[in-house]
Every structure is written in structure tokens, then in C-alpha cells.
């Protein structure tokens, strides 16, 4: 048989801007407060995130939430090993980073806040289903940088 590109679509990018971006940030802070233990660590984490929300998060124009949605092969019904699927999604994110840089944009891949990233409420917000093996692998933060012009 022939190898067909694009038979299995493993990644789902959820692009957030404007109001959706703000909801995502608020949800992150709320979930970190809810799921981080002990309580003193929770308060410290929430305080740190509120600082980011007022200083660095406004510099981000878009969040691209990186999700993995493993699928079974239509022919065999088998799933690939998880490491292969994570590697495939990582390649897609590398391509995203290369294209962003080529367009003069700055960005980075963050694992995000685990307490928020792995919460069922976040999965619902992102439209993924952890019971089917779907996972959020982090967030690519995208924006403009004055420093990039100096590298060309």
C-alpha cells in the first residue's frame, strides 16, 4: 500500500484571542486556586498568576492551546504508542514556531499550569475528552517582540 499523509489527525490547536483569551486566563487562575494543595501553595500560586495577568499576559495576542487527540487507525483499529503521538504533535508545534518566526512573531511553548491544564473544567472549555485519551500538552503564547527585528 501507499503511505497517505494526513490519515490520522492527532493534534487540535485551540486558538484563543480577545474575550476567549481572557476567559482562559481567568479559568486558569480559578482552577489553580481550586486544585493546588496545600492551601498556602494555592494562595501563592494564585498571587503569582494574578501578577502575570496584569503584567505579562496582556503582551500575548493569542494563545494556541496544544491538544492531542489520539485516533485509532481506520484499517487496523490500533492506536500508535503515546510517545509517537506526542512526538507528532511536537513536530506540528515546531512547524508552528518556525512559521510564526518567519512572519516576525515571537512565541514559546509553555507546559502551562498543571493544576489548570489537567482539570476536567479545562478539558470541557477546550472541547477535548480525556476519557478518550485526549490531552492538553500546553500552550503556545504568541505576540510581537521588539527584539526580533535585531535578529534579521
pLDDT score at 1:
47
Architecture of the domain whose range is 11-151: 3-Layer(aba) Sandwich (3.40)
Could you give the C-alpha distances from 26 to 10, 33, 125, 142, in angstroms and in order? 28, 11, 12, 18
The predicted model scores a pTM of: 0.86
CB of 87 closer than 8 Å to CB of 77: no
pLDDT band with cut points at 50, 70 and 90 for residue 54: very high
Cβ atoms of residues 29 and 53 within 8 Å: yes
**31-40, 81-90, 141-150: segment of lowest average pLDDT:** 141-150
Amino acid at each position: 500500500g501507499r503511505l497517505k499523509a494526513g490519515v490520522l489527525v492527532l493534534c487540535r490547536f485551540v486558538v484563543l484571542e480577545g474575550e476567549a483569551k481572557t476567559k482562559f486566563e481567568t479559568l486558569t487562575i480559578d482552577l489553580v486556586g481550586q486544585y493546588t494543595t496545600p492551601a498556602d501553595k494555592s494562595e501563592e500560586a494564585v498571587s503569582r498568576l494574578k501578577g502575570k495577568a496584569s503584567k505579562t499576559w496582556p503582551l500575548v495576542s493569542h494563545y494556541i492551546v496544544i491538544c492531542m487527540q489520539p485516533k485509532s487507525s481506520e484499517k487496523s483499529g490500533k492506536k500508535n504508542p503515546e510517545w509517537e503521538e506526542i512526538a507528532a504533535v511536537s513536530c506540528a508545534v515546531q512547524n508552528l514556531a518556525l512559521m510564526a518566526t518567519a512572519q516576525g512573531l515571537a512565541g514559546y511553548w509553555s507546559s502551562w499550569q498543571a493544576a489548570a491544564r489537567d482539570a476536567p473544567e479545562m478539558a470541557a472549555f477546550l472541547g477535548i475528552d480525556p476519557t478518550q485519551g485526549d490531552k492538553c500538552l500546553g500552550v503556545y503564547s504568541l505576540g510581537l517582540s521588539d527584539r526580533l527585528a535585531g535578529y534579521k
